[in-house]
Amino acid sequence: MARRFFIGGNWKCNGTLKSIEDLLSTLNGADLAKPLPEVVVAPTYVHLAWVKSKLREDFAVAAQNSWIKGSGAYTGEISPEILKDLGIPWVILGHSERRTLCSESSQVVADKTKYALDKGLAVILCVGETLEQREAGKTFDTVAEQLKPVAGALSSWTAVVVAYEPVWAIGTGKVATPEQAQEVHAYIRSWLTDNVSPEVSDTTRLIYGGSVTAKNSAELGSAKDIDGFLVGGASLKPDFVEIIKSAPQA
């Protein structure tokens, strides 16, 4: 069965009521051909419920992070149970900014992923290497190290989308070439075959993130093992509609 193209928009720590209202107007008014790719946007926590209430029904909403445990005495955290209660179906986990700025280890990301899935959320799982790791020839080793504890924790991957985001291409204007991105996506798919199962490898969507724009999305999306994008800065602009329109038709 063909993997449905997936386009996520990570708004990160951005947005005012006015700018988000303008963006929602653009998204809700976009004339998009059917069948649509799966489109998911991730606003900040304080805007989450409001965006969900205003966003068109054929798009979904994701949280940008969730806590490793359930609700309780965890000041400043949001549990998967709270997200489920709000009707939020998706959460982004393991983003490089969480790994580097908040010191989340690959094991912590794996534990978060398992807990979120156990509580009924779908997960956009981020992996990727720094420039130093790429230049040292450690891209594959880094991605494998990030995936290994997840594979050890999960019994099912049906609600997981893996986002390959080379750290050196996030917010820098640099972008992996389609050949570079495809090479790592092919490696991830082979890793899943060898370490999880051929079925999981065949069915899990692998998406690319790292300075995706309306100018490069069509070329990136044509690669064999690229099943979509996790878009950062461009997801805050009208260009996001053009990225959605560039998705290959099933």
Question: CB–CB of 75/67 below 8 Å?
Answer: no
User: CA angle at residue 209 from 155 to 102, to 5 degrees?
Assistant: 70
Question: CB–CB of 228/247 below 8 Å?
Answer: yes
Rounded CA-CA distance 80/86 in Å is: 10
Active site residue 47: no
* Residue carrying structure tokens 């490898």: 201
Residue of 81, 95, 97, 129 marked catalytic = 95
Rounded CA-CA distance 200/9 in Å is: 24
What would you measure as the largest C-alpha separation in the chain, in angstroms?
A: 48
Rounded CA-CA distance 228/63 in Å is: 18
Residue of 38, 81, 97, 165 marked catalytic = 165
| Terminal C-alpha separation, the chain | 11
Active site residue 95: yes
Question: CB–CB of 90/61 below 8 Å?
Answer: yes
Question: CB–CB of 5/247 below 8 Å?
Answer: yes
Backbone torsions φ then ψ of 247, nearest 5 degrees: -60, 135
| Strand residues in the chain grouped as ranges (E) | 6-10, 38-42, 60-63, 90-93, 122-127, 160-164, 205-208, 228-231
Catalytic residues: 95, 165
